[in-house]
Amino acid sequence: MLSLIKKEVRSFFSSIVGYLVIMVYLLINSVFLWLFPGSFNMLDGGYASIGNLFTISPWVFLFLIPAISMRMFADEKKAGTMELLLTKPITDIQIILAKFWAGMLLLFLALLPTLLYYSSIYLLGANVGNIDSGGSFGSYVGLLFLGAAFLSIGLFASSLTDNQIVAFLLAMFLSFFFFYGFDQISEFAFFGTFDLFVIKLGINEHYISMSRGVIDSRDLFYFIGLIAIFMAATRLVIQSRKW
């Protein structure tokens, strides 16, 4: 399993695409948080906080995570190595977990440079260190869970096709729907008093809660449950190739 994780990471960085994806994520965050004037600019905010990072990142993740996950199964199918992989002495769930943790490692590498934003605000405050460190790192936990949820969706999308572009678009659509779609559906008059229940089915409600730096067990169970559902769906798709 560890060798498969290493293989996925090496494969991602074997072309310019791997580096480009991470660079684009950092570039988009940087220009909005530091260069472009407006409500997202941290220097214009007037207080020591990196909260805007956690507002922008989910929308960037809608492109970043599908770009990371699109080739993980689709490329195996197109190259004809999927059957060979399934004959290895590892289970289907180990294969899925290996690709999932490889994706999480790549996501972590993309987020790691953003700690420079935290360090900068920490030092630039009127009083050095006048920043809510606990809340900031709690928000990072929420962002990692959000990325993990999108990644599980991306793996499922990649398992459905041998075309990376199709996998990318499908993952982006499903991630957007689970992130924002339920908020919009809840506004239909049809749901009446059940609108809050519908909202809680979506990712955004739970991410907003965690992005405040508050780690609630209900939000953790939601993300773990959503990840498990898409992992199980991915396994079902893989097993269907053996039927």
* Model confidence pLDDT, tens digit, residues 134-171: 777 888 898 999 999 999 999 999 999 889 899 999 99
State the Cα–Cα distance between residues 165 and 162, nearest whole angstrom: 9
State the Cα–Cα distance between residues 186 and 91, nearest whole angstrom: 39
Residue 29: the pLDDT is 84
List CB contacts of 144: < 8 A, sequence separation 6 or more: 104, 107, 108, 111
Give the pTM: 0.89
C-alpha separations of 29 from 40, 154, 214 in Å: 10, 22, 23
* Model confidence pLDDT, tens digit, residues 190-207: 666 677 777 888 888 888
Domain extent listing, the chain? 2-240
List CB contacts of 126: < 8 A, sequence separation 6 or more: 48
Average pLDDT of span 166-180: 93
| Residue 100 clears pLDDT 90, i.e. is over it | yes
* Model confidence pLDDT, tens digit, residues 23-73: 888 888 888 877 777 677 766 666 667 778 888 889 999 999 998 888 888
Which of residues 54 and 130 earns the better pLDDT score? Answer: 54
C-alpha angle 112/107/124, rounded to 5°?
25
State the Cα–Cα distance between residues 242 and 235, nearest whole angstrom: 11
State the Cα–Cα distance between residues 162 and 152, nearest whole angstrom: 17
Contact yes or no for 98/4 (Cβ under 8 A): yes
Supply the mean pLDDT for the chain.
Answer: 82
- Long-range contacts, 116-124 (Cβ 8 Å, 24+): 117/29, 117/33, 117/42, 117/50, 117/53, 118/50, 121/42, 121/48, 121/49, 121/50, 122/48, 124/43, 124/48
